[in-house]
Chains A and B, each alone.
Chain A
Amino acid sequence: MSAPNEPAATRRSVLATGAGVAMAGAAAGLTYAGGTPRAAASQPTGPAAPPSSQKPVPFRGEHQAGIVTPAQDRMHFVALDVISKDAADLKLLLQEWTRAAERMTFGAEASPGGVVGGGPYRPPEDTGEALDLAPSNLTITIGYGPSLFDGRFGLAGRKPEALHDLPGFRGDDLDPARTGGDLCIQACADDPQVAVHAIRNLIRIGFGVISVRWSQLGFGRTSSTSTSQVTARNLFGFKDGTANIKAEDGQALDSHVWVDPSDVPGGASWMAGGSYLVARRIRMHIEVWDRTSLQEQEDIFGRDKAVGAPLSQPVDQRDEFAPLDFHAKGADGSPRIPLTSHVRLAHESQLGGIRILRRGYNFTDGTDGSGHLDAGLFFLAFVRDAHKQFVPMQQALAKSDKLNEYIEHNGSALFACPPGLGDGQDWGVQLFGA
């Protein structure tokens, strides 16, 4: 149930109804006018053990799925621009998206009978490539960019204060075609086809209202967001995000990930319980990296390559989750964890307690035309305030991180992901108010 308070049916069902008027269904149009609450159980603050691929991840709950949900293996992310000038179009689209997203999360077609139910003369409302596939832990997470609140849609008064563009960072090489966007949709699933199907169908529902600005596929997770998962590796071959905030750490989530009501007073109160999403497309010069000695690779990260243990650990006692000892010195008196290492610069102890929830994905997008793969990390982080958390962290990294020789940031965006939806709620009313 997506739009209980809306007297009108969704646009799609209105059209379907009209199209079939001679013979068939006024019913389709009436279906969504009733306003019966949805049955799905509310999602607890933190998810339990990762559900099997057969069992859907709950779509509704206190927070959106796809943030602390145990990171799925695949991702399709899309940034969109709104091309309609009509706020009503956008609100209606958000309601249609809620309905379709909830259905697809469940493993159902984007609309009832969407693949063949429209009969032979209409284009199918669901594109069909996920028809026989399991829910695959699909999560669909929506976010709104700063530009959405520029006054085109009467949303200026609802803009959260912390939702403004990220500053430039040293070494950035941002491509405008991979940066920004009025809104974003992140679809994660254990089956890539399920994630792509979700994004494709949501885009299709939006034609005439939105247009694709950029899109990113991630073929493998680089983060673990639950203690039930092993730490994944990035394309440099290192375990990434060992010290990530985990779903089980409720207090850290409240401090560092979820927007507190006191953060968003007044018109922006709709964002309480939400989270800011930072997206950075980080190109990795993997060919150069692969020619680097193991010693140098480990010094750059500050962890060993085999198990991901801090370099402060003695070689024979290496444990990924051992605490980092930044004071430990080697035989020559230099810090075992080098001063310019990634793990030191990004650590909360060096940043006044700042932490972030990372949820990134590895990508390869063809070639760079110079005989190399265009590969890297699609960095995604969820934070309570990007300007207080991600920005100082990235400024420290951009300034000193030895890793900078091997990477460049060429896409960037910030989105405000609203809180989860309760029974009967939809994204349109949530954003625009009733």
Chain B
Amino acid sequence: MTRSALALVPASVAIALTLTACGGGSDAKTADGKGPITVTANDTSCELDRTQAPAGTIEFTVSNKGTKVNEFYVYAAGDRIVGEVENIAPGLSRTFHVEVAEPGTYETACKPGMVGKGIRHDFTVTGASAAPKTDDAKLRAATASYARFVGSQSDALLARTTEFVGLVKAGKVDEAKALYPVARSYWERIEPVAESFGELDPKIDGRADVVDEGMKFTGYHRLEQDLWVNGLQADSSAIADQLLADVTTIVAEAKKVEFNGLQLANGSKALLDEMATGKITGEEERYSHTDLWDFAANWEGSKGAIAALRPVLQERNPELVASYDKRAAALDALVTKHQKGDGYQLYTELTPVEVRALSDALDAVAEDVSKVAGVVAAA
């Protein structure tokens, strides 16, 4: 992670860089003083009266003496923005504060005309880390909580798939059809975990087009095709047996996975991506049209990961949590609207207006969820 790399820059390196910056810059003060740092920006130059400051809140006053609109940035490694002030009109000055918690080498930039890489100088942050103690306990609790969620879903997946396979083998088509979307719900809730087992996933969840990649069409969707379209085939029982064997293996593997916070964040987003690209289009369950079961299950899985992270997110970015809650409630309400009996309406029963409403609500919540990884990684 960028931050630890920065934190590890030895003091000697930092000093050397500071001197370089002083030589190239203006009459930079070497004093590691407090108080605002004055930045004089021009169309072709960007001069700081001091190029180092102690970790914590750093105040800059940027004066635009040029003729172009200017911006001022503080960058960490990889051009990650630590702080910026934009839209400084010619003749004006702006004061802003930036929190730099970790000592190390940074860069400042003026951007006359708002474009390009800007006029760069090194900037050194000295002293001890001012970062609040990372609450590792909360993140550990989050990943442990999610691991329990995956564990319980995996158990149910195995139990329901066992039942489903039994019904297929007994030729009980109607009962198998009724159980099919239910068993798949457990799969869909933990899909990103399951998909991380690359070879098993297409065997269990592949669609007819896996044949194009030289694979045999097996798994849930092959049985879906049999149950809804072709009728049970001579090899349906064998396919069912193989499905159960594969699910048994993947469940055992899934329960061994150890998660980190970023994986939870990315997993919650991956589930929403699944919904947006595979479920809202009605292509996943092309024979049974039970896509809304999958849609709801993906959504529940995504919520499960966010729920585990919630204490961390609430502490670090309550605005994001508030926005997420509002948007999640809107999607919940829409999903509930399509409940029918113990399950959901078929995809083919949805009107285009209803599909668009689901898609709109999904886009909204996905924007917020896409920001979660950044919040988690900031620790």
Interface membership of B98, Cβ < 8 A? yes
Q: Is A27 a contact partner of B84 (Cβ separation < 8 A)?
A: yes
* Chain B residues near A116 (CB-CB < 8 A): 78-80
What residues of B have a CB within 8 angstroms of the CB of A27 in the complex? Answer: 74, 82-85, 96-99
Cβ-based interface call for B377 (8 A) = yes
A71 to B: closest C-beta gap in Å: 25
Bound-state CA distance A37–B114 (Å) is 16
Give B312-326 as 1s and 0s: 1 = Cβ < 8 Å from A's Cβ atoms: 000011111001000
Nearest CB on A from B107, distance (A): 12
Q: Which residue of A lies closest to B356 (CB)?
A: A211
A27 to B90, CA, bound (A): 21
Minimum distance in angstroms from A177 CB to a CB of chain B: 9
**CB-CB < 8 A to B99: which residues of A?**
21, 23-27
Asked if A106 is at the interface (CB within 8 A of a chain B CB), the reply is: yes
Binds A, one of B22-30, B152-160, B196-204, B365-373: B365-373
- Of residues 59 through 102 on chain B, the ones whose CB sits less than 8 Å from some CB of chain A are 69, 71, 73-76, 78-90, 92, 94, 96-102
Which residue of chain B lies nearest to A123 when distances are taken between CB atoms in the complex? B370
Q: Does B327 contact A (CB under 8 A)?
A: yes
Q: What A residues does B114 contact at CB under 8 A?
A: 103, 106-108
Interface status of A250 (Cβ within 8 A of chain B): no
Assembled-state Cα–Cα distance A98/B2 (Å)? 33
Complex Cα spacing A207 to B85, Å = 25
Q: How far is the CA of A294 from the CA of B151 in the complex (A)?
A: 76
Q: Which residues of B contact A40 (CB under 8 A)?
A: 69
The residues of B that contact A19 with a CB separation of less than 8 Å are 316-317, 320, 371, 374-375, 378
Does the CB pair B88–A36 fall under 8 Å?
Answer: yes
Instruction: Identify B134's interface contact among A22, A30, A122, A207, CB under 8 A.
Output: A22
For chain A, give the interface size range: 35 or more
B83 nearest CB neighbor, chain A only: A27
CB atoms of B373 and A122 under 8 A apart: yes
Q: Which of B90, B115, B320 has the most CB of A within 10 A?
A: B115
Select from chain B the residue with minimum beta-carbon distance to A21.
B316
Interface residue B376 (Cβ < 8 Å from any Cβ of A):
yes
B94 engages A15 (CB within 8 Å): no
Q: Residue A44 at the B interface, CB < 8 A?
A: no
Say yes or no for B364: interface residue by CB 8 A criterion. Answer: yes
CB of A433 within 8 Å of the partner chain: no
The residue of chain B having its C-beta at the shortest distance from the C-beta of A117 within the complex is B81
| Residue ID in chain B nearest A84 by CB atoms | B364
Q: Which of A95-135 contact B (CB under 8 A)?
A: 103, 106-108, 112-113, 116-123
- In chain A between 265 and 281, which residues have their CB closer than 8 angstroms to a CB of chain B? none
* Residues in A neighbouring B262, C-beta threshold 8 A: 121
The answer to whether B89 touches A39, judged by C-beta atoms less than 8 angstroms apart, is: yes
A106 (CB) vs chain B CBs: closest residue: B114
Encode contact with B along A114-158: 1 for CB under 8 Å, 0 otherwise.
Answer: 001111111100000000000000000000000000000000000
CB of A106, distance to nearest CB on chain B (Å) = 5
Contact of B115 among A22, A31, A34, A107 (CB under 8 A): A107
Contact B87 A36 (CB under 8 A): yes
B363 in contact (CB, < 8 A):
yes
For the complex, what is the distance from the CA of A211 to the CA of B358, rounded to whole Å? 11
Q: Which of A20, A38, A103 contacts B378 (CB 8 A)?
A: A20
Q: How many Å lie between the Cα of A2 and that of B79 in the bound state? A: 25
- Majority SS of interface residues in chain A? loop
Whether B97 lies near A112 (C-beta < 8 A) is no
Within 8 Å CB of B17, what residues of A?
Answer: none
The reply to whether the CB of B19 lies closer than 8 angstroms to some CB of chain A is: no
> Does B364 contact A208, Cβ atoms closer than 8 Å?
yes
A28–B317 CA distance with the chains assembled, in angstroms: 14
A79 at the B interface (CB under 8 A): no
In whole angstroms, how far apart are the Cα atoms of A113 and B363 in the complex?
Answer: 24
> Nearest B residue to A122 by beta-carbon distance?
B374
If the complex has contacts A1-B87, A15-B317, A22-B134, are A30 and B96 also in contact, measured as CB distance less than 8 A?
Answer: yes
A261 within 8 A of partner (CB): no
B3 contacts chain A at the CB level, 8 A cutoff? yes
Cβ-defined contact, A120 with B82, below 8 A: no
A306 close to B (CB within 8 Å): no
- Given A18-B318, A22-B132, A23-B3, verify A112-B84 contact (CB < 8 Å): yes
- Whether B89 and A37, one on each chain, are in contact in the complex, defined by CB atoms closer than 8 angstroms, is yes
| Residues in A neighbouring B85, C-beta threshold 8 A | 27, 31
B32 in contact (CB, < 8 A): no
Asked whether A24 lies within 8 Å of B378 as measured between CB atoms, the reply is yes
In the docked arrangement, what's the CA distance between A28 and B319, Å? 15
Minimal Cβ-Cβ distance residue in B for A30 = B96
Q: For residue B315, which residue of chain A has the nearest CB? A: A21
Task: Check A83 for interface membership: any CB of B closer than 8 A.
Answer: yes
A14 within 8 A of B: yes
- Min distance, Cβ B325 to any Cβ of chain A, angstroms: 12
Q: Which B residue's beta carbon lies closest to that of A131?
A: B115
B131 contacts the other chain (Cβ, under 8 Å)? Answer: yes
Given contacts A24-B378, A26-B98, A208-B367, contact A18 B83 (CB under 8 A): no
Q: Which residues of B contact A117 (CB under 8 A)?
A: 73, 75, 79-81, 84
Assembled-state Cα–Cα distance A20/B99 (Å): 10
Which A residues are in CB contact (< 8 Å) with B102? 23
Q: Does B81 lie within 8 Å of A113, measured CB to CB?
A: yes
Complex interface: chain A residues within 8 A of B377 (CB):
119-122
Task: Report the minimal beta-carbon distance from A29 to chain B, rounded to whole angstroms.
Answer: 10
Complex interface: chain A residues within 8 A of B368 (CB): 208
Given contacts A112-B84, A121-B373, contact A83 B360 (CB under 8 A): yes
Q: Within the assembled complex, what's the spacing in Å between the Cα atoms of A26 and B370?
A: 20
The reply to whether A23 and B318 form a contact with Cβ atoms under 8 Å apart is no
Chain B: CB-nearest residue to A213: B356
Q: Is the CB of B3 within 8 A of A118?
A: no
Q: How does the 8 Å CB contact mask read for B136-169 relative to A, with 1 for contact and 0 for none? A: 0000000000000000000000000000000000
**Separation in Å of the B57 CB from the closest CB of chain A?**
8
Q: Could you tell me the distance in whole angstroms from the C-beta of A342 to the nearest C-beta in chain B? A: 36
- Given contacts A18-B319, A23-B102, A26-B97, are A113 and B69 in contact (CB under 8 A)? no
Cβ-defined contact, B115 with A106, below 8 A: yes
B78 contacts A119, C-beta separation under 8 Å:
yes
CA distance A28 to B347 in the complex (A): 44
Complex CA–CA separation, A112 to B90 (angstroms):
18
Of residues 306 through 322 on chain A, the ones whose CB sits less than 8 Å from some CB of chain B are none
List chain A residues, Cβ under 8 A from B323: 11, 15, 208
- Chain B residue numbers with a CB within 8 Å of A121 are 262, 373-374, 376-378
Beyond known contacts A15-B319, A106-B114, A121-B262: 14 more, CB 8 A cutoff: A11-B323, A18-B319, A21-B317, A27-B74, A31-B96, A34-B94, A103-B86, A108-B114, A113-B73, A117-B79, A117-B81, A207-B366, A208-B327, A208-B363
Give chain A's interface residues, CB within 8 Å of chain B: 1, 11, 14-15, 18-28, 30-31, 34, 36-40, 83, 103, 106-108, 112-113, 116-123, 204, 207-209, 211
What are 19 A-to-B residue pairs whose CB atoms are below 8 Å? A15-B371, A18-B316, A20-B82, A20-B374, A22-B131, A23-B82, A26-B57, A27-B85, A27-B98, A28-B81, A31-B85, A107-B115, A112-B86, A119-B80, A120-B377, A121-B377, A122-B370, A122-B377, A208-B364
Q: Considering the complex of A and B, which 9 residue pairs feature the smallest CB-CB distances, nearest first?
A: A39-B89, A208-B364, A18-B317, A27-B83, A122-B374, A121-B377, A117-B81, A119-B80, A108-B114
